[in-house]
């Protein structure tokens, strides 16, 4: 429950004027389902437009407002494919095109009747030998001339939304902003010259205002720091199980290799934590292929030796099944009972697993988040291992912790190497073990950058590879060409690529992506993992953890569209066996300077920690932390530059607040609670109530 004063901000956006059910989908796509989201959907930039009399008065690339009279509508030959164009004339007879893609063309038909003058605002650019305005920002019957010179926000959109809609959404949300008590330390406000929270919000929607932006970013960093400290404080208060393993089960393992130094060290750090009564909160950070699984298994066996159960939580169904297979095989000589439970296990099979967890006959369970639903009870859960923890909210982690009277130990594992300067932000309050040494005998992956135009050669190479009996991945940036995504028409979509490769390779190729029926996806994955199918076309669903050692070729199409960290993860799918592996990074024709540097870095090194550091440097201060659409970024508002400048201060401030008022009951503590709600760190507040 949120404090009443905040409730209006969490109302659904469809309670606003002009927002009907039709807009809900496009709004959802942008993550704008509540007023709070609209407030924090900040403009990407601002434009200032000039009113011009005729097209002669402006050049390409200029933002203008001009009166134009439509003369002709040109629908695409192939509806839904090409753009819809309206030719229009200025006051002295120059013609330009107004161009619409996707669904936007329906509106254009109505808004631009032939022969009627309209005020058009937008950016002039060239289309062949004609000027054009693509998706005008405004089409008005009258009055638009008064908007000239005004500074106007430009928001990120999704298909079906207009700038005007978002502007209206933001301004209605701003009208409902309540007066909240200040949570930022007064000296900090004064030192930086920051406005109050509500002023900062209206300022950032109206124009470039560095102080207001910084303040909102600081808010977010403070909320995050505070929430992490609340978790840690709660963790210290909790009682866990002091688990002493006698080594009996671990001694029965018949591993085909000795542990690396880093693995052995990590196991002993974990074992040390587990012998303590306060629950472990540890992160195991290790590059792809560093061998985290066996470390996790040892930790789970320690729990079993001490008579407790252990659970391993995987981010996807595919990974859960893979972990299950690996762990079952590795653990076989120990005789412990390993089971799997996912959302897809139903009926009798599910019942029997649930029984086993309750009566303690199952020692280790692997699954997706369904292993922590309310309907699942454990006899005595001693350890939770979370694989790829960045995909899970901390909230879920806590939900786990609160099962049972005593909290289980938590071991989170991630293959995302995080730059040192960001570890604090993401894992601030966890202890960290690093696997900074790869198992011996790994061969370097031969990485090459190949222009997309050489597709025929690439396909021929894949054919040779498959004929020699090996397997290959082929990764595309998306599932299918997005409806109306006119800027991205050249994108390589998995479905189209699959169709093309199918003609060449027939049944030797299959496909997995997030929009496939889960059963089909699994079956396809299984066919590939078993070696029946040789080539797997995929999107980034294979990014995390998939382990098919016989697959030794990775093709990544339009590699420049992926982040460095993602490329690194993807490449890590190969080079897992003893065979030499190759990674081909196909690049599009237009490559930015940064894009070029990134691909060059990939060719140069395989060290994940180095890639992470350089990624940070390449992205520079202005750009945001990763691509936001992936949805697992730590911060929505704060950019890298702001993180660097303000995170240490926010962290210190949060610590001070906790030291003075750990229950958040003072006036400023109350304000800080509001902040936690605003940034959806509700779980932080819940911890205060001991729940």
Query: Footprint of Mg ion on this chain (CB under 5 A)?
Result: 545
- What the block records as the tokens of 570 is 């993807």
Q: Which residue has the tokens 């969490």?
A: 10
Question: Which residue's CB is nearer to Mg ion, number 315 or number 626?
Answer: 315
Question: Which residue's CB is nearer to ligand ADP, number 256 or number 622?
Answer: 256
Closest CA to 554 of 541, 532, 578, 538: 538
Closest CA to 508 of 495, 524, 494, 520: 524
Q: Which residues contact 338 (CB under 8 A, 6 or more apart)?
A: 324, 327, 328, 331, 362, 363, 364, 365, 366
CA distances from 248 to 175, 253, 254, 336 (A): 66, 9, 13, 12
- Please tell me the count of residues contacting ligand ADP according to CB under 6 A: 16
In the stretch 427-456, what mask flags binding to ligand ADP with x, by CB under 6 A? ------------x-----------------
Q: Is 315 in the site for ligand ADP (CB under 6 A)?
A: no
Which one of 143-151, 267-275, 287-295, 388-396 is the stretch in contact with ligand ADP (CB under 6 A)?
A: 287-295
CB of 659 to ligand ADP, least distance (A): 37
Q: Is 290 in the site for ligand ADP (CB under 6 A)?
A: yes
Cα separation of 221 and 305, whole Å? 41
CB of 439 to ligand ADP, least distance (A): 3
Question: Which residue's CB is nearer to Mg ion, number 52 or number 295?
Answer: 295
Is residue 101 within 8 Å of residue 135, measured between CB atoms?
Answer: yes
Q: Is 288 in the site for ligand ADP (CB under 6 A)?
A: yes
Cα separation of 691 and 688, whole Å? 7
CB of 411 to ligand ADP, least distance (A): 13
Q: Which residues contact 191 (CB under 8 A, 6 or more apart)?
A: none
Q: Which residue is nearest to Mg ion (CB)?
A: 545
Query: What count of Cα atoms within 13 Å lies in the side-chain half-sphere of residue 446?
Result: 7
CB of 292 to ligand ADP, least distance (A): 3
Question: Which residue's CB is nearer to ligand ADP, number 288 or number 425?
Answer: 288
CB of 267 to ligand ADP, least distance (A): 11
106 binds, among Mg ion, ligand ADP, none (CB under 5 to 8 A by kind): none
263 binds, among Mg ion, ligand ADP, none (CB under 5 to 8 A by kind): ligand ADP
CA torsion angle 249 254 257 259 (round to 10): 0
Q: Which of 220, 547, 615, 653 binds ligand ADP (CB under 6 A)?
A: 547
Q: Is 571 in the site for ligand ADP (CB under 6 A)?
A: no
CB of 262 to ligand ADP, least distance (A): 9
Instruction: Write out 81-111 in H/E/C secondary structure.
Output: CCCEEEEEECCCCCEEEEEECCCHHHHHHHH
Q: Which of 122, 153, 279, 286 binds ligand ADP (CB under 6 A)?
A: 286
Cα separation of 262 and 270, whole Å? 12
Question: Which residue's CB is nearer to ligand ADP, number 90 or number 547?
Answer: 547
Which one of 81-89, 99-107, 206-214, 281-289 is the stretch in contact with ligand ADP (CB under 6 A)?
A: 281-289
CB of 370 to ligand ADP, least distance (A): 22
Q: Is 257 in the site for ligand ADP (CB under 6 A)?
A: yes
Cα separation of 337 and 364, whole Å? 6
Q: Which residue is nearest to ligand ADP (CB)?
A: 291
Instruction: Give the DSSP letter of residue 59.
Output: -
Q: Residue 545: left (phi > 0), alpha (psi -120 to 50), or beta?
A: left
Which one of 55-63, 232-240, 244-252, 257-265 is the stretch in contact with ligand ADP (CB under 6 A)?
A: 257-265
CB of 573 to Mg ion, least distance (A): 11
Cα separation of 58 and 53, whole Å? 9
CB of 66 to ligand ADP, least distance (A): 57
- In order, the DSSP letters of 369-385 are GGGGSTT---S-EEEEE
Q: Is 389 in the site for ligand ADP (CB under 6 A)?
A: no
Q: Is 8 in the site for ligand ADP (CB under 6 A)?
A: no
Which residues contact ligand ADP (rule: CB under 6 A)? 257, 259-260, 263, 286, 288-294, 415, 439, 547, 576
């Amino acid at each position: 429950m949120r404090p009443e004063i905040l409730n209006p901000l969490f109302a659904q956006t469809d309670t606003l004027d002009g927002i009907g059910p039709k807009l809900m989908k496009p709004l959802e796509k942008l993550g704008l389902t509540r007023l709070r989201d609209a407030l924090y959907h900040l403009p990407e930039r601002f434009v200032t437009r000039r009113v011009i009399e005729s097209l002669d008065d402006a050049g390409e690339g200029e933002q203008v407002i001009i009166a134009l009279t439509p003369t002709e509508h040109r629908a695409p030959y192939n509806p839904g494919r090409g753009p819809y164009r309206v030719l229009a004339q200025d006051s002295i007879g120059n013609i330009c095109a107004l161009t619409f893609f996707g669904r936007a063309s329906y509106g254009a038909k109505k808004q631009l009747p032939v022969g009627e003058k309209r005020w058009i605002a937008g950016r002039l650019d060239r289309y062949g030998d004609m000027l054009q305005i693509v998706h005008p920002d405004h089409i008005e019957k009258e009055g638009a001339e008064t908007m000239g010179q005004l500074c106007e926000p430009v928001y990120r959109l999704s298909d079906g939304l207009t700038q005007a809609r978002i502007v209206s959404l933001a301004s209605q949300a701003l009208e409902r902003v309540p007066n909240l008590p200040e949570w930022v330390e007064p000296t900090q406000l004064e030192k930086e010259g920051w406005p109050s929270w509500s002023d900062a919000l209206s300022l950032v929607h109206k124009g470039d205002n560095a102080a207001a932006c910084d303040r909102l970013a600081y808010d977010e960093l403070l909320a995050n720091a505070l929430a992490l400290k609340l978790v840690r404080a709660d963790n210290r208060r909790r009682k866990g199980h002091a688990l002493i393993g006698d080594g009996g089960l671990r001694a029965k393992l018949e591993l085909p290799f000795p542990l690396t130094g880093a693995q052995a060290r990590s196991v002993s750090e974990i074992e040390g934590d587990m012998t303590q009564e306060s629950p472990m909160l540890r992160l195991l950070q290790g590059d792809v292929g560093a061998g985290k699984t066996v470390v996790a298994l040892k930790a789970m066996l320690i729990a079993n030796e001490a008579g407790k159960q252990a659970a391993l939580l995987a981010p996807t169904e595919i990974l859960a099944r893979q972990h299950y297979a690996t762990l079952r095989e590795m653990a076989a000589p120990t005789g412990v009972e390993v089971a799997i439970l996912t959302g897809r296990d139903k009926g009798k099979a599910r019942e029997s697993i649930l029984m086993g967890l309750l009566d303690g006959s199952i020692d280790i369970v692997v699954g997706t988040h369904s292993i922590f639903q309310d309907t699942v009870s454990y006899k005595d859960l001693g350890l939770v291992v979370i694989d790829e923890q960045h995909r899970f909210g901390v909230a879920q982690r806590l939900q786990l912790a609160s099962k049972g009277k005593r909290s289980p130990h938590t071991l989170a594992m991630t293959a995302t190497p995080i730059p040192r300067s960001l570890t604090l932000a993401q894992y601030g309050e966890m202890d960290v073990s690093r696997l900074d040494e790869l198992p011996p005998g790994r061969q370097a992956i031969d990485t090459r950058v190949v222009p997309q135009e050489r597709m025929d050669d690439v396909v021929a190479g894949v054919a040779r590879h498959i004929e020699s009996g090996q397997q290959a991945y082929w990764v595309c940036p998306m599932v299918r060409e997005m409806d109306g995504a006119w800027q991205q028409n050249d994108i390589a979509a998995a479905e189209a690529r699959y169709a093309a490769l199918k003609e060449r390779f027939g049944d030797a190729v299959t496909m997995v992506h997030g929009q496939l029926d889960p059963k089909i996806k699994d079956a396809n994955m299984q066919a590939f993992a078993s070696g029946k199918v040789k080539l797997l076309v995929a999107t980034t669903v294979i990014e995390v953890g998939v382990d098919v050692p016989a697959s030794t070729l990775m093709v990544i199409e339009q590699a420049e569209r992926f982040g460095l960290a993602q490329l690194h993860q993807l490449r890590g799918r190969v080079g897992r066996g003893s065979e030499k592996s190759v990674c081909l990074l196909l690049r599009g024709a237009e490559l930015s300077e940064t894009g070029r540097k990134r691909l060059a870095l990939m060719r140069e090194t395989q060290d994940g920690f180095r890639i992470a550091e350089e990624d940070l440097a390449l992205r520079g201060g202005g750009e945001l932390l990763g691509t936001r659409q992936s949805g697992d970024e730590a911060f929505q508002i704060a950019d890298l530059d702001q993180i660097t400048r303000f995170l240490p201060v926010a962290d210190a401030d949060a610590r001070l607040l906790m030291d003075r008022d750990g229950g958040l009951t003072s006036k400023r503590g109350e304000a800080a609670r509001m902040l936690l709600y605003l940034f959806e760190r509700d779980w932080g507040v819940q911890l205060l109530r001991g729940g």
